[in-house]
Amino acid sequence: MTEVITYSPAVTLVPTYECFNRCTYCNFRVAPGHSPWLTLEQAGQRLATIRRHSPQVTEILLLSGEVHPHSPRRSEWVTHLEKLAQLAWDWGFWPHTNCGPLTEPEMWQLGRVNASMGLMLEQLRPDLPVHRHAPSKDPGLRLAQLEQAGRLGIPFTTGLLLGIGESPQDWEATLTAIAACHRRWGHIQEVIVQPYRLGTVQADPLPEFDLNQLPLVVGLARRILPADITLQIPPNLVHYPQILLDCLAAGARDLGGIGPKDEVNPDYPYPQVATLTTLLASQGYRLQPRLPIYPKWLHSDWILPQFSSVSVPNRQKLV
């Protein structure tokens, strides 16, 4: 039987690039006050264009920089994210929001209008120099977000960022914490195993993660994480086809959102779906599109009732 590898046909909308964190490896951030917010009118125009010219797209990833928790614009920002997610539904797309740590009321506000949500845990180690000017990268705070999403019943994506100063022992600790959280709540759909790659605008270039180790980390993750968590590899960050295939052999089964641009890693364009399809077929895999919410939640109480009637082209084929 042919083994299926999934991906999400996706387009990213960035509500704002402004972020109060200053991670030294970031190629996304703009200083607060220097990034105008994406308006609803602009978003609607983008969504109309996507619907007209890219009928295969089902996911809209709302990937936002973080407005400071004590900013006078914080409430306005969260409400704006809520309106953008609802707008995505109105255009027939499935929204997935990743916008940093949230209070429980904020997460509920956004969770009720998103198919799923996400937040990278990155690493549990609290003393990484790359995060010294990034208060919301505190691992305890981010792990608490995973727990909070579980209590609220929100299908969730998280992941590891590899090569930011951590050790192999840190990989195990981070994966173990994710596994324990999922066993309590059963809400984590996928874990991204993401290698750090050098970008052109980051503040402090680091040595790149050794991609030859990536299949080893995938294998470790597959041993530690529960079987119902899917492992995801970003194919644009793995430019050696054999290493990508080795990651699949080690247990990865998803390639994440594939679209026009990786906003977090803009120096690394996504490979064409046709190219990936051919590569995977050479090893007996079948590449198949999916929704940002996995079938397990589509047919359960996890998904809110108003989403069950959403009309999306090719929905049945995807789920």
Q: Helix or strand or coil: residue 46?
A: helix
Q: At what angle do helices 168-185 and 214-224 cross, to 10 degrees?
A: 30
Spatial separation of the C-alpha atoms in residues 215 and 192, rounded to whole Å: 13
Cα distance between residue 280 and residue 274, in whole Å: 10
Per-domain residue ranges of the chain:
3-318
pTM, whole model, 2 decimals? 0.94
Q: Does the domain made of 3-318 have the CATH classification 3.20.20.70? A: yes
Handedness of CA 50, 51, 55, 57 (dihedral sign): positive
For position 299, what pLDDT does the model report? 67
> For residues 185 and 249, what is the distance between their CA atoms, to the nearest angstrom?
28
Q: ∠ CA 294-296-300 to the nearest 5 degrees?
A: 120
Q: How far apart are CA 53 and CA 136, in angstroms?
A: 37
Question: Per-residue confidence of the chain (319 residues) as pLDDT tens digits?
Answer: 789 999 999 999 999 999 999 999 999 999 999 999 999 999 999 999 999 999 999 999 999 999 999 999 999 999 999 999 999 999 999 999 999 999 999 999 999 999 999 999 999 999 999 999 999 999 999 999 999 999 999 999 999 999 999 999 999 999 999 999 999 999 999 999 999 999 998 888 889 999 999 999 999 999 999 999 999 999 999 989 999 999 999 999 999 999 999 999 999 999 999 999 999 999 999 999 999 999 888 766 655 544 554 444 333 333 3
The answer to whether residues 182 and 188 touch, using CB atoms and an 8 Å cutoff, is: yes
User: What span, in angstroms and rounded, lies between the C-alpha atoms of 65 and 18?
Assistant: 5
Rg of the chain over Cα atoms, rounded to whole angstroms, equals 18
pLDDT for 318 equals: 35
Residue 301's pLDDT is what?
Answer: 61
DSSP 203-257: SS--PPP-GGGHHHHHHHHHHHS-TTSEEE--GGG---HHHHHHHHHHT--EEEE
The Cβ of residue 201 has, within 10 Å, a number of other Cβ atoms equal to 10
Find, among 135, 74, 141, the residue nearest to 110 by Cα.
Answer: 74
Q: In degrees rounded to 5, what are phi and psi of residue 24?
A: -75, -15
Reduced to 3 states (helix: H, G, I; strand: E, B; else coil), residue 232 is: strand
